[in-house]
Each structure stands twice: as structure tokens, then as C-alpha cells.
Amino acid sequence: MTPRFSASRAVREYTDTYYAPAADRYRARFAEGGALGAELLRWQRDLERRLPEVRFNAFRADRDGPLLHFSVEVALGELDPAAVHVELYADAYGRGAAERHAMTSAKKTAPGRYTYVARIESARSAVDYTPRVVPWHSAASIPLEMNAIRWQR
């Protein structure tokens, strides 16, 4: 039982899981004169400025047997659609974990407006799922670096 609870194992696990990846991200951000770090800072500032303007419009959910089909129109305004992900979220239910399902952009419906869709297999009710807009950048640690989620209300 000692190896499972030893301090050496815990330090090694934290180093491998958290510290080494953080050091790699740090080096990547400061390489080439800090280009990635500057890009991330621009992304973060743009999100802070534009995310409050995000609005949810028509939200639709239909059941087809075990499948739920969702669509939602999201008004992103001037926000770059690549700077965020749109997903469905459902709180934990019973012994199950919370659910997150990525939605895909189906089409641009008007300037700054996009329809996102998702199809999931679930026995849960469609009202259990809420669309949300989550900041996204391939080099960012979400939610540590950008903890701003816009929920449909």
C-alpha cells in the first residue's frame, strides 16, 4: 500500500501531470520573441471585450428515438468564431457525471450570427441541456487562463 500513498509518487505525478507541461507551455510562449505569448494576450483581451456581447437566439431540441437533435443560433457579433467553442452542458444526474457535448457550426445565418448543431444519444430530457459559449485557444489552459463562459439564459 505504501507506493500508492508515498510522497515520492505524489511529487512524481504532480511533476509529470502539471509542472512539466506548464514549463513546456512557458517555453513555447516565450520562444521567437514571445510571439505565442503576445497572441494569447490579444486573444484574451479580445474575449474580455467581446464576450459580454454574445447572445443566444433560437434554441431548438427534438427527439428521434434515443437521439436528441439540438440547434442554437448564437450572435457572436465581432468575436471570431475560432476564439470560442459552443457546447451543450448538462449537470450530473444520479450517479452519472456532468456532460459536455461540442456543437458544430452548421452555417453563418447573418453577419456575426451562426447556427450550431449537435446530435447526441441520451435517455435524458432535452431540458437538461443548456448551450454555452466557452473560450478556446489551442495554447491556452481553460478555465485557468480564461474563466468566462456565456450561458444561454
Per-residue pLDDT of 34-87, as tens digits, reads 899 999 999 999 999 999 999 999 999 999 999 999 999 999 999 999 999 999
- Report the amino acid identity of residue 119: R
**Where are the chain's structural domains?**
2-44, 54-151
| pLDDT of the residue at 3 | 60
**Nearest alpha-carbon partner for 67 in 105, 134, 118, 135:** 118
User: For the whole model, what pTM was predicted?
Assistant: 0.81
| pLDDT of the residue at 92 | 94
Domain 54-151's class?
mainly beta
Neighbour tally for 101: CB within 10 Å: 16
- Check whether the bond before 131 is cis (ω within 30° of 0): no
| pLDDT of the residue at 1 | 52
Distances (CA, A) of 90 to 9, 126, 137: 35, 9, 23
90 forms bridges with which residues in the sheet?
99
pLDDT in tens, 123-149: 899 999 999 999 999 998 888 888 899
